[in-house]
Amino acid sequence: MRVAIDVRKIHDFGIGTYIRNLLKYLGRLDNKTEYVLLCERNDQELPKQLGDNFRAVIENSPNYSIREQLHIPYVLLREKPHVFHAPHYVLPPAVPCRAVVTIHDCIHLRFPQYLPNRAASLFARTAMWAAANRADRIFTVSEASKRDILSYFNVPKKKIVVVHNAIDEHFGSTLQEKDISRVRERFQLEHGFVLYVGNVKPHKNLVRLIDAFKSLRHDGFENLKLLIIGDEISKLPVLRRVVHKHKLHKHVRFLGHLPDNTLAVLYRLAAVFVFPSLYEGFGLPPLEAMASGTPVVTSNVSSLPEVTGDAALLVNPYEVSEIKDGIKRILTDSELCTKLREKGIARVKEFSWEQSVARTMTVYREVAENR
């Protein structure tokens, strides 16, 4: 069997994590299937890390372009895979073979106002509709996302396969004291801090998080800091304005992207991890924090209750007071912290990339055999 996978978004924040772990575990679990990776020129050495049954094909078409709609089918016609996997919602309609697509979430349909213009909204809706109807199977990452897909697109339930995400192996591993000290000194972490990790986008609800942090400081937590890790702050200038409005520029720090080994230490050092997102297809950062033994406050909407179970403190993300009260409970209730740490570590073990990728391989075979 030959499977082609579009890996051009391998360096992205969320989808990139999905692609990297998909390839890592395909390399560990399967040395018989031939995998053809459609990648950018800078990633053409990627197969050497995975196995002899992986090879690269250069595909320089920009994402969301007309060129990818035309050139990817041409490449697939030449390579003749039995199955093509589009790990994002864009699946060219002229793909000449069986195909599976991963639709992680329906955020562009739920919150079209967050897209740059109406043309982008129309493209997202059209591309997702085409992918959902053209694909032989649809992977998604939670039951919540499956419900959303069914509500927006007229596709059979049996066509949708829920395959959960999981965390990278290094989160939750034993850390060296010297590494912890190095990170603490580098970022001058003399006091306790609240941590957020993720994209800097409107639906991540960071304005309300900053408002809640400001209110929390007025409740007697003057030494507390807020660390926001993810995209560069320039992608959402309103956050900088909110910080200055509340005069928090000495207490709220935007650190941008950080290496995973540094991130693992910051998870471990945080007093509380807060993830007040308005919508998530899955939401990996709360699991990463749980694996690190850090208590989590997160939203009671979309997939987050499904992912965190009873191992996190759930709050209404639209209410600043609830976000603040949730953080305050963690900071003042040691018994609650202990319970959440124990439940969090147990909860993380219920998600496994090995199991998820094994399920993905099974679907590849089913689709190929039904051609």
Per-residue pLDDT tens for 211-223? 999 999 998 898 9
Q: Is the pLDDT of residue 172 over 80?
A: no
Percent of the chain with pLDDT over 90: 80
What is the residue whose two structure tokens read 């829920």?
162
C-alpha to C-alpha distance for 97 and 5, rounded to whole angstroms: 12
Of the candidates 244, 265, 270, 281, the one whose C-alpha atom is nearest the C-alpha of residue 330 is 270
H or E element, residue 339: helix 334-348
- Confidence class for position 116, pLDDT limits 50, 70, 90: confident
C-alpha to C-alpha distance for 351 and 358, rounded to whole angstroms: 13
pLDDT digits (tens, 9 = 90+) for 28-78: 999 999 999 999 999 999 999 999 999 999 999 999 999 999 999 999 999
pLDDT digits (tens, 9 = 90+) for 271-314: 999 999 999 999 999 999 999 999 999 999 999 999 999 999 99
Give the up-direction half-sphere exposure of residue 184: CA atoms within 13 A in the CB hemisphere.
12
- Confidence class for position 169, pLDDT limits 50, 70, 90: confident
What is residue 254's predicted lDDT score, i.e. its pLDDT? Answer: 92
- Confidence class for position 260, pLDDT limits 50, 70, 90: confident
- Confidence class for position 89, pLDDT limits 50, 70, 90: very high
Tell me the mean pLDDT in the region 157-171.
Answer: 92
pTM given for the model: 0.92
- Confidence class for position 257, pLDDT limits 50, 70, 90: confident
E-assigned strand segments in 231-277: 252-256, 272-275
**Which residue type does 363 have?**
V
Longest pairwise C-alpha distance within the chain? 66
What is residue 115's predicted lDDT score, i.e. its pLDDT? Answer: 87
pLDDT digits (tens, 9 = 90+) for 209-256: 999 999 999 988 989 999 999 876 667 789 989 999 999 989 999 988
What is residue 26's predicted lDDT score, i.e. its pLDDT? Answer: 98
Q: Is the pLDDT of residue 351 over 90?
A: yes
What is residue 181's predicted lDDT score, i.e. its pLDDT? Answer: 87
Tell me the mean pLDDT in the region 160-172.
Answer: 90
C-alpha to C-alpha distance for 205 and 277, rounded to whole angstroms: 5
What is residue 371's predicted lDDT score, i.e. its pLDDT? Answer: 60
pLDDT digits (tens, 9 = 90+) for 138-152: 999 999 999 999 999
